[in-house]
């Protein structure tokens, strides 16, 4: 029979996989939308504006990628430092604060790269940048998959 700790960890791991898979599926939806639904007005932005706007979103994506790998560790360490507060909590609460929340924050930051890619597709129509950013976000999600 599994202990309360093992059951709590098992539930958190299942939840993580569910959330991660939902985010991966959403990225494929973004890909569909960017490919088949994005028809920006060609006169809305000149070539320099498109490049500048795309570059700004790429820079924001780089920042979010860095945060996606740094911030979850900070959140997890902060939660572990508060063991006095967590001592009386259930194992589920402990794993939620030290494992689930940091991973979800990281995945949300990675998904923002896919959202920026979709914005590029709808505003500039630059499909090469759209696919590049979307591909990077999918690779990052695979790298940061639950374990």
Phi-psi region of 20 (alpha: psi -120 to 50; beta: other; left: phi over 0): alpha
- pLDDT, residue 88, reads 64
- pLDDT, residue 127, reads 93
Q: Is 29 exposed, middle or buried (0-12, 13-18, 19+ CB in 10 A)?
A: exposed
The parent domain of residue 137 ranges over 4-143
Q: CA–CA separation, 116 vs 108, rounded Å? A: 12
Tokens of 14: 């299942």
- pLDDT, residue 105, reads 96
Number of domain units in the chain:
1
- Which helix (H) or strand (E) is 31 found in, with range? helix 4-32
- Compute mean pLDDT per 10 residues along the chain, 147 residues long, and list them: 83 94 96 90 82 94 96 89 67 83 96 96 93 97 94
Tokens of 142: 């695979």
Q: CA–CA separation, 83 vs 140, rounded Å? A: 31
- pLDDT, residue 47, reads 84
């Amino acid at each position: 029979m599994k202990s309360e700790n093992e059951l709590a960890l098992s539930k958190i791991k299942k939840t993580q996989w569910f959330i991660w898979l939902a985010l991966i599926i959403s990225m494929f939806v973004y890909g569909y939308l960017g490919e088949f639904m994005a028809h920006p007005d060609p006169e809305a932005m000149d070539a320099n504006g498109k490049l500048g706007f795309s570059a700004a979103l790429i820079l924001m994506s780089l920042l979010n990628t860095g945060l996606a790998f740094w911030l979850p560790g900070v959140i997890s360490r902060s939660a572990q430092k508060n063991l006095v507060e967590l001592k009386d909590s259930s194992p589920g609460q402990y794993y939620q604060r030290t494992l689930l929340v940091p991973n979800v924050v990281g995945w949300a930051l990675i998904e923002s790269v896919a959202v920026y890619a979709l914005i590029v597709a709808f505003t500039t129509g630059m499909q090469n940048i759209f696919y590049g950013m979307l591909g990077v976000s999918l690779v990052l999600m695979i790298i940061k998959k639950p374990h």
